[in-house]
């Protein structure tokens, strides 16, 4: 079911006693940042209506889509363990610059923080942490020279999808951190959306598959 609380303005894709699943809008932080101007975020909005909300994973501020928000310590621990052991399956939708030639493929490049330019990340074969992304072409637009892709991260490194697509030669539209100016100007927001998540219910152990279609 999909609900929306007027006090939070964050739509909920799913809700039960163990956790809720929010559909985070692009531009909203998942957790508070430093300073009073960065206190408006997903978790603080949800706490007004769901005071037991806890964070188990995050999306980048410009990325929209599905975020699981546990409602108990037990659910937090159970779902957190699934993330740690890579039992959670995720799929993102992105629109990238250029025509991706291969219908599907993988990008396996180790990533590390580009410390002088943080929060940017970069490929580093010597010191980077292993990172693997599978991609599948959904459609190609020869007129705009853009490609719509489904991205499946096996690992969960910071900015992984954005850096891997850049390394492939196809930066994501609207990516103000990594894309060249023309690609940034092609969209008013980052065209990256967490569309699907699959995991085990922390109480019933039943497999769950939740979807939230991309708004672009």
Q: Is 177 helix (H, G, I), strand (E, B) or coil?
A: coil
Q: 74, 83, 100: which is closest to 164 by C-alpha?
A: 100
- Name the catalytic one among 16, 60, 103, 141: 60
Q: 41, 134, 52: which is closest to 92 by C-alpha?
A: 134
118 exposure class (CB count in 10 Å sphere: 0-12, 13-18, 19+) = exposed
103 is catalytic: no
| Cis preceding-peptide flag for 119 (omega within 30 of 0) | yes
Strands (E), the chain: 3-4, 11-15, 19-24, 64-70, 89-97, 104-108, 111-113, 121-123, 132-141, 146-153, 192-200, 207-211
Distance of alpha carbon 209 from its chain centroid, rounded? Answer: 16
Report how far residue 35's alpha carbon sits from residue 67's, in angstroms, rounded to the nearest whole number: 24
Q: How far is CA 23 from CA 29, 89, 102, 108, 164, in A?
A: 12, 17, 31, 28, 24
Catalytic residues: 60
């Amino acid at each position: 079911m999909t609900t929306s609380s007027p006090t939070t303005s964050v739509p909920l894709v799913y809700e039960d006693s163990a956790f809720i699943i929010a559909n985070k809008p692009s531009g909203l932080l998942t957790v508070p940042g430093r300073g009073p101007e960065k206190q408006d975020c997903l978790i603080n909005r949800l706490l007004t209506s769901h005071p037991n909300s806890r964070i188990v994973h995050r999306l980048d501020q410009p990325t929209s889509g599905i975020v699981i928000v546990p409602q108990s310590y037990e659910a937090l621990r159970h779902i957190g363990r699934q993330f740690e052991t890579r039992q959670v399956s995720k799929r993102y939708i992105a629109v990238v610059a250029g025509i991706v030639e291969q219908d599907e493929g993988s990008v396996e490049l180790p990533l590390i923080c580009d410390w002088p330019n943080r929060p940017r990340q970069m490929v580093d074969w010597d010191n980077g942490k292993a990172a693997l992304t599978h991609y599948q072409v959904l459609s190609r637009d020869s007129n705009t020279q853009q490609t719509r892709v489904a991205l499946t991260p096996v690992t969960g490194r910071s900015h992984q999808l954005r850096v891997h697509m850049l390394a492939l030669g196809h930066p994501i539209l609207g990516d103000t951190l990594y894309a060249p100016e023309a690609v940034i100007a092609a969209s008013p927001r980052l065209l990256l959306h967490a569309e699907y998540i699959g995991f085990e219910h922390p109480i019933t152990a039943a497999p769950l598959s939740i979807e939230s279609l991309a708004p672009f």
